[in-house]
Chain A
C-alpha cells in the first residue's frame, strides 16, 4: 500500500444499523477499506458478517429503514447521503454491481437485450437501436454463446451461468470504474463458477476496473483477489495482501477459516475442521472481541476489551494476541 496509488473507492468508518421493534441491529460496524484502480479486493466472511450490507450501503440500495453512517467516496465523490439524482447517475454507470442469485435478478418480462440496452439508453443517451447493437457486443464480451439470438430471449430461457453473464454485461455496459460482485458464483455449478471467475478476471484486467469480490469462498479469493478483508460480526478483523493472509494469517478467525477449507491434497478420511459455535447475533453485541467465544485461545482480556485494528507484519489485524510465525511478534 503505497501512498502513490489512486483509490477508486474509499470506505471510511462505515456503519449500518437497523432500529427494529426487537431492538437495534448493528449489521456493519466501523469498516474502512480502500480499493485502487485495477485491483481486486476479496471481502470474506460468514453469512451475516455484513459483507453484502456494507456494499449495498455504498450502492445506496439498502432498505429505507437502514441507518448508514460514515463515508464512501468513489474517485473522491461522496456517495453516502448524496443527492439521489446524482447517485443514480453514478449507479450503473461508474459504479456497478452484480448479485448472488442470477435466477431472480433479471426482470422476467423484459427480453435480455433490452435489459442491457436500457442502461445505455439511460446513462449514455443512446437510441434504443444503437443501444441494442452495443448490447450484442457486450454479450459477446461476456462470452455468451449465440449472442444475437439471446438478445430477444427472456431470462427464463437462459441457464443460470448465462444469466450471470447477462448480469455482467449489464454491469459493464457503461465501463464502470468499480464493480461490486456479491457472491457472483455461489448459485452456480462449479464448472460454471470457474468460467465466470476467469471472465471477471479478464474483464477487470482489460478495463483496469476495480473489483470488490464478496464471497465466503477463500478459494475464489485466492484465485482472483490482490487484497483481502475478513469480516466478522460486522467488523474487519484482518485485512492485507492475499498472499500474506492466506499464508500467514494473523487473526485466529482467518486461520480457522483457512483450516476449515476442504483440501484436495488432504487424506480422504481426514475430517473437516469446522469452527465451533455460531457467529454472534447482530442483535446482541458481544463484549470484548466478538470472536472470543469461538476462539481457541481467548484470555480474559479478550472478553472485556475489544481489539482495535492495528498494523502487524504489513497487514491490519484486530486481535490482542495475533498469531505470528516470529515469536517476537507477540506483544503484550
Chain B
C-alpha cells in the first residue's frame, strides 16, 4: 500500500508542471490582451502599461519569470483588479469557496450514498422511484434555478435563512449555497451508488456471503458496499475539485465573495495572471483530489494496488 501511495504521489508534481506550462502558452494564443478596451488607448500609454507589467518581453522570458514567481508563491499582479495581486485575490476568495465546497461534497456523500443504497435495496418500489425521480430533478435543474428558488422559499417565504450575502463567522449565510451546490452531486452519487450496488448484490461473492448465513445488514455493509463505492470514488475525485474551487453560478446567486467568478471573468478580461492563478489552484486541487481518490481506490479494492 505504501509503495502504491508513493507511486501515485510522485506523479503529481510533473503533471502540475505540464498543466501550468501548457496553460501559460495557450492563453496567449487568444486574440487581444488585458489593455484592449472599447476606447483604444494611445499607443504610447499602452506600451508603457505593457512595459510596466513585463508584457513587452519575449514570451519565454515572461514564462521564466512567472515560473520563478510561482516557486515563492507569487502569482503576479492582477491586470484588472488594479490594486490587488492575484495571490491576495485568491487568498481572500478561496477559503469561502473551499468551505462551502467541502461542506457540499461531505453533505452529498452523507446523503447520496444512503439514498442510492436504499434505492438499490428497495428496487422497483415506491422509494426507489421516488429517490431516482429526485435524482433526475437534481441533475436536470441548474443551480441558477434551484438557488433563487431556495432563496425565495427559505429566505422570503419562511424567513429562516438569509437570502444572500456573506458575513464571516455567520454560518447561516452558507447553508443555502451549500445545499444548492450539493444537490446535483447528491443526485449523481445516489444514481451511481444504486447502479453499482445492484450489480454487486448480484455478484457471486455476495451469494457466498449469504450462503454463509450472514444477516442482510452484514452482507450489505461488510461485503457489498465497499466494492460498490468504486464508481462513486472515481466520480468524486474530479467532482470535488470542481466544487471546491467555487461555482460561478452559486456564488453569483448568493452574492458570495469566493473564487468562482475569477476564472471566467479573468478569461474574458484577458487577465492572464488571474486566469493562470486559478488554473494553478484548480490544477493542484484536482490532482490532490484524484490522488485521494486513487488511495481510496486502493483501500476499497486491494487488486488495484498491484499493477
Q: When each residue 196-223 of chain B gets 1 if its CB lies under 8 Å from chain A and 0 otherwise, what string results?
A: 0000000111011111111100100011
Query: Which residues on A sit within 8 Å (CB–CB) of B209?
Result: 107
Minimum Cβ distance to chain B for residue A66 (Å): 14
**Given contacts A99-B204, A99-B207, A104-B205, are A109 and B300 in contact (CB under 8 A)?**
yes
Q: Are A105 and B215 in contact (CB under 8 A)?
A: no
Inter-chain CA distance A6–B301, complex, in Å, is 46
Please indicate the chain A residues that have their CB under 8 angstroms from the CB of B211 in the complex: 59, 61, 91-92, 96-97, 99
In the complex, what residues of B have CB within 8 A of residue A82's CB?
A: none
Q: Write the nearest CB–CB distance from A98 to chain B, whole angstroms.
A: 8
- Report how far A96 CA is from B207 CA in the complex, Å: 12
Q: Which residues of B contact A97 (CB under 8 A)?
A: 211
Say whether B205 contacts A154, CB under 8 Å. Answer: no
B204, B213, B218, B223: which has the most chain A beta carbons within 10 Å?
B213
Residues in chain A near residue B208, CB distance under 8 A: 99, 105-107, 167, 170
The answer to whether B223 touches A92 (Cβ under 8 A) is: no
Is residue A296 contacting chain B, with contact meaning CB distance below 8 A? no
Q: Which A residues, 90 to 119, have Cβ-Cβ distances below 8 Å to chain B?
A: 90-93, 96-97, 99, 101, 104-110, 118-119
Q: Are B210 and A90 in contact, with the CB atoms below 8 A?
A: no
Given contacts A104-B205, A108-B227, A122-B218, contact A154 B302 (CB under 8 A): yes
User: B303 touching A156 by the CB < 8 A rule?
Assistant: yes
Q: Is the CB of A104 within 8 A of B214?
A: no
For B173-212 the 0/1 string (1 means CB < 8 A from A) is 0000000000000000000000000000001110111111
Q: How distant is B203 from chain A, measured CB to nearest CB, in Å?
A: 7
> How many chain A residues have a CB neighbour from B under 8 Å?
27
Q: Which residue of A lies closest to B203 (CB)?
A: A104
List of B residues within 8 angstroms of A118 by Cβ: 212, 214, 222
Q: Within 8 Å CB of A101, what residues of B? A: 204
A305 part of interface (Cβ distance < 8 Å): no
Is B261's CB within 8 Å of the partner chain A? no
Cα separation A91 to B210 with both chains bound (whole Å): 8
B204 near A93: Cβ-Cβ < 8 Å: no
Chain B nearest Cβ from A123, distance in angstroms? 6
Q: Which residue of B lies closest to A90 (CB)?
A: B213
Q: Does A89 have its Cβ within 8 Å of any Cβ on chain B?
A: yes
Asked if A92 contacts B205 (CB within 8 A), the reply is: no
Q: Which residues from chain B contact A259 at a C-beta distance below 8 Å? A: none
A154 to B1, CA, bound (A): 13
Closest to A109 in B: B226
Closest to B225 in A: A109
Q: State A118–B247 Cα separation when bound (angstroms).
A: 46
Contact B213 A91 (CB under 8 A): yes
B215 and A88 within 8 A (CB): yes
Interface size bracket, B side? 20 to 34
User: Which A residues, 256 to 284, have Cβ-Cβ distances below 8 Å to chain B?
Assistant: none
Contact B205 A88 (CB under 8 A): no
Q: Evaluate contact between A93 and B302: CB separation under 8 angstroms.
A: no
* A107 CA / B214 CA spacing, docked (Å): 14
Q: Are A104 and B204 in contact (CB under 8 A)?
A: yes
Nearest CB of chain A from residue B176's CB, rounded to whole Å: 38
Partner of B205 from the list A61, A91, A93, A108 (CB cut-off 8 Å) is: A108
Partner of B214, one of A88, A96, A156, A167: A88
Contact status B213-A92, CB under 8 Å: yes
Chain B min CB distance to A197 (Å): 20
**Contact for A122 among B204, B205, B213, B227, CB less than 8 A:** B213
Considering the complex, give the chain B residue whose CB is closest to the CB of A107: B205
- CB A285 to nearest CB in B, in angstroms, measures 27
Tell whether, in the assembled complex, residue B227 and residue A109 are in contact, meaning their CB atoms are under 8 Å apart. Answer: yes
Known: A105-B205, A105-B208, A167-B208. A93 touches B223 (CB 8 A): no
Q: Provide the bound-state CA to CA distance between A88 and B227, in Å.
A: 23
Is A109 a contact partner of B302 (Cβ separation < 8 A)? yes
Contacting residue for A119 out of B205, B212, B227, B306, CB 8 A: B212
Within 8 A of B (CB), among A47-98: 59, 61, 88-93, 96-97
Chain B residues whose CB sits within 8 angstroms of the CB of A108 once the complex forms: 205, 227, 301-303
Which residues of B lie under 8 Å from residue A109 when comparing CB positions? Answer: 226-227, 300-302
In Å, the complex CA distance between A96 and B209 comes to 11
With CB as the reference atom, state the residue of chain B lying closest to A93: B213
Q: Which of A88, A91, A104, A156 has a CB less than 8 Å from the CB of B302?
A: A156
Q: How far is the CA of A45 from the CA of B58 in the complex (A)?
A: 81
Chain B residues within 8 Å of A91, by CB: 210-213
Query: Which 4 A-B pairs rank lowest in CB-CB distance, beginning with the nearest?
Result: A92-B213, A91-B213, A92-B212, A104-B204
Q: 6 A-B Cβ contacts within 8 A?
A: A106-B205, A108-B227, A109-B226, A109-B300, A122-B212, A156-B306
Residues of chain B whose beta carbon lies under 8 Å from any beta carbon of chain A:
203-205, 207-215, 218, 222-223, 226-227, 300-303, 306
Taking Cβ atoms with an 8 Å cutoff, the residues of A that contact B are 59, 61, 88-93, 96-97, 99, 101, 104-110, 118-119, 122-123, 154, 156, 167, 170
Known: A122-B215, A167-B208. 14 other contacts (CB 8 A): A99-B204, A99-B211, A104-B203, A104-B205, A105-B205, A105-B208, A107-B227, A108-B205, A108-B303, A110-B222, A118-B212, A118-B222, A122-B212, A156-B303
